[in-house]
């Protein structure tokens, strides 16, 4: 598509991306803006990233840019660093042939473990995942190259894989999650042929490195489309491989507390994103793993005879460790999540004058937010506790004192009205025998 046939202007491309494109082009290499950057501009959206593809090898790129660092083992990439802005540059991918294991390697299921086979732009396009991402903006003449019907699918708002869907999903199972994410993000439909194998191949996600899955979860649930992504993942069977403990409880009770909590968490996360409020993985994981934690604590208490509190503390490590087998949660988030869990027990029993001290805890607000979601999911006594805390938190200082005193009076009244146990008298000591 020539310059006259599309709406992309260089004013819509980041200055740093243009610097990279121009330098590669002036050095005799082919250079293209590729994928999401091109796609989003054509859709009238603001691109989040600007990725570049070229026929220069990573080593060639490093020689051209002093601010370049090479990253990745599975895919060798060049990152051109401009302060906080990083432009990712990839070399054209080629087709696999008889190559050394150090260059290209896949496992028994067909998943690519190493992929540093270089080729030409036509081959690179065939290696892309979806047609809407096989779009190349040529900096030499400002034209767009579209492969596999990318422009047509963009116009018809269709997510379509390039190549045989089963083969492509086996090469990289994360493509199934990407199909869902693009469909919700871009308000598109997944092509029937592209969607058909997903349910059967969803278990392949269990083999993806946990560290990579952590990044994918951030993209799925922290970009304003958490609820839509969650529902579509459930439809395709993609949620269970990522969150097996949560999924097991939902399967047991599709309308139970866990299912209600998940709906509330996703809805609440989307609301915060739309209001430009901060969202944190610590709260997200604390909330969705709360009921697996509760069940594990109950099991430990029965098996070991530990107190409720000690069983709760022991269960925290078990639940977090099992979750980290599928999604690697950094300690900077797993530790605060455990703090939020521990505070739930204190919130349940700290109504009254002790509530003032709890307000000073740095994790109070997150723990309080989780209690409100629990009240919504559980109703009953938990809802009453959540309502008391809500009235306490939203009151001014004077009102808080009255609210706390009312709880203390009620507690003292219950203690006075409780049946008093008679104290057992100590038997009188027997008199010592006197000497005669």
- Is there a catalytic annotation at residue 129? yes
Whole-angstrom distance, CA of residue 344 vs CA of residue 348: 6
DSSP E strands in 214-335: the ranges are: none
| CA 378 to centroid of chain Cα atoms | 24
Annotated catalytic residue 191: no
Residue whose token pair is 């809805």? 267
List pLDDT tens digits, range 199-239.
Answer: 999 999 999 999 999 999 999 999 999 999 999 999 999 99
**What does the block give as tokens for 351?**
């109504």
Q: What distances in angstroms separate CA 301 from CA 46, 252, 314, 315, 343, one per listed residue?
A: 52, 21, 10, 10, 19
pLDDT at 101: 46
Q: Between 346 and 107, name the one with better pLDDT.
A: 346
Query: How far apart are alpha carbons 37 and 53 in whole angstroms?
Result: 12
User: Distance between CA atoms of 363 and 121, rounded to whole angstroms?
Assistant: 51
Residue 139 CA from chain centroid, whole number: 35
Q: For the chain, give the percent of residues with pLDDT over 70.
A: 88
CA–CA distance, 428 with 424 (Å, rounded to integer) = 12
Confidence of residue 100 (pLDDT cuts 50, 70, 90): very low
pLDDT per residue as tens digits for the range 230-280:
999 999 999 999 999 999 999 999 999 999 999 999 999 999 999 999 999
Q: Is 101 a catalytic residue?
A: no
Compute, in degrees rounded to 10, the torsion defined by CA atoms 54, 56, 58, 62. -110
**Through-space distance between the first and last CA atoms of the chain, rounded to whole angstroms:** 127
145 HSE (CA, 13 A, CB side): 17
Mean pLDDT over 317-339 rounds to 97
Taking 60 as the threshold, does the pLDDT of residue 102 lie above it? no
Among 364, 424, 363, CA closest to 392? 364
Domains of the chain: 1-156 (3.30.460.10), 160-242 (1.10.110.30)
Res. 417: pLDDT tops 50: no
Alpha-helix residue ranges (DSSP H) falling in 305-379: 308-323, 331-349, 355-359, 364-378
User: CA–CA separation, 239 vs 217, rounded Å?
Assistant: 10
pLDDT of residue 401: 85
Q: 268, 269, 272, 285: which is closest to 335 by C-alpha?
A: 285
Please give the Cα distance from 377 to 287 (Å, whole number): 11
The whole-number pLDDT of residue 305 equals 87
Least confident of 288-297, 298-307, 349-358: 349-358
Rounded mean pLDDT, 52-60: 94
Assign 349 a pLDDT band (cuts: 50, 70, 90): confident
Q: pLDDT at position 96, please? A: 58
Q: Please give the residue that has the higher pLDDT: either 74 or 159.
A: 159
**What is the tens place of the pLDDT at every residue in 109-164?**
545 444 568 889 999 998 899 999 999 999 999 999 999 899 999 999 999 999 99
Residue 418 pLDDT class (50, 70, 90 cuts): very low
Question: For the chain, what percent of residues have pLDDT higher than 90?
Answer: 76
List 129, 153, 191, 270, catalytic entry: 129
Among 40, 51, 124, 153, the active-site one is 51
Separation CA 34–CA 50 (nearest Å): 8
Q: What is the mean pLDDT of residues 8-13?
A: 91
175-200 residue pLDDT tens? 999 999 999 999 999 999 999 999 99
Q: Tell me the CA distances in angstroms from 22 to 13, 14, 161, one per residue in order.
A: 12, 12, 31
Taking residue 93's Cβ as centre, other Cβ atoms within 10 Å add up to: 21
Q: 315: closest CA among 325, 300, 303?
A: 300
Confidence grade of residue 43 (pLDDT, cut at 50, 70, 90): very high
Contact between residue 17 and residue 50 where contact means Cβ atoms under 8 Å apart? yes
Quick one: pLDDT at residue 27? 96
**Residue 116 has what pLDDT?**
62
């Amino acid at each position: 598509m020539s310059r006259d046939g599309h709406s992309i202007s260089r004013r819509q491309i980041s200055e740093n991306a243009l610097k990279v494109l121009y330098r590669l082009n002036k050095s005799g290499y082919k250079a293209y803006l590729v994928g999401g950057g091109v796609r989003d501009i054509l859709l009238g959206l603001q691109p989040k990233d600007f990725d570049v593809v070229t026929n220069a090898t990573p080593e060639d790129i490093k020689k051209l840019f002093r601010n370049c660092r090479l990253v990745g083992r599975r895919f060798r990439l060049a990152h051109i660093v401009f302060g906080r802005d990083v432009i990712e540059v990839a070399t054209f991918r080629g087709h696999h042939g008889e190559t050394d294991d150090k260059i290209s390697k896949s496992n028994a299921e067909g998943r690519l473990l190493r992929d540093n086979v270089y080729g030409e732009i036509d081959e690179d396009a065939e290696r892309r995942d979806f047609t809407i991402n096989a779009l190349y903006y040529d900096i030499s003449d400002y034209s767009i190259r579209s492969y596999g019907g990318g422009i047509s699918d963009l116009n018809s708002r269709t997510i379509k894989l390039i190549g045989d869907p089963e083969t492509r999903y086996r090469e990289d199972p994360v493509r199934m999650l990407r199909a869902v994410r693009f469909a919700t993000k871009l308000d598109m439909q997944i092509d029937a042929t592209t969607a058909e194998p997903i349910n059967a191949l969803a278990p392949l996600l269990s083999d993806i490195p946990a560290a990579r899955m952590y990044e994918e979860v951030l993209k799925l649930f922290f970009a304003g489309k958490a609820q839509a992504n969650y529902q579509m993942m459930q439809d395709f069977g993609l949620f269970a491989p990522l969150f097996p403990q949560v999924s097991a409880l939902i399967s047991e009770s599709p309308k139970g507390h866990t299912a209600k909590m998940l709906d509330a968490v996703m809805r609440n996360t989307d609301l915060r994103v739309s209001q430009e409020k901060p969202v944190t993985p610590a709260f997200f994981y604390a909330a969705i793993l709360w009921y697996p934690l509760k069940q594990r604590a109950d099991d430990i208490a029965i098996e070991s005879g530990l107190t409720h509190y000690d069983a709760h503390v022991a269960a925290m490590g078990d639940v977090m460790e099992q979750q980290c087998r599928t999604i690697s949660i950094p300690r900077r988030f797993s530790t605060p999540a455990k703090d939020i869990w521990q505070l739930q027990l204190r919130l349940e029993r700290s109504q009254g004058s002790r509530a003032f001290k709890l307000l000073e805890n740095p994790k109070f607000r997150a723990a309080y937010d989780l209690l409100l979601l629990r009240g919504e999911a559980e109703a009953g006594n938990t809802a009453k506790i959540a309502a008391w805390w809500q009235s306490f938190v939203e009151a001014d200082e004077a009102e808080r004192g009255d609210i706390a005193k009312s709880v203390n009076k009620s507690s003292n009244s219950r203690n006075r009205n409780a049946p008093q146990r008679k104290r057992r008298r100590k038997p009188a000591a027997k008199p010592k025998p006197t000497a005669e």
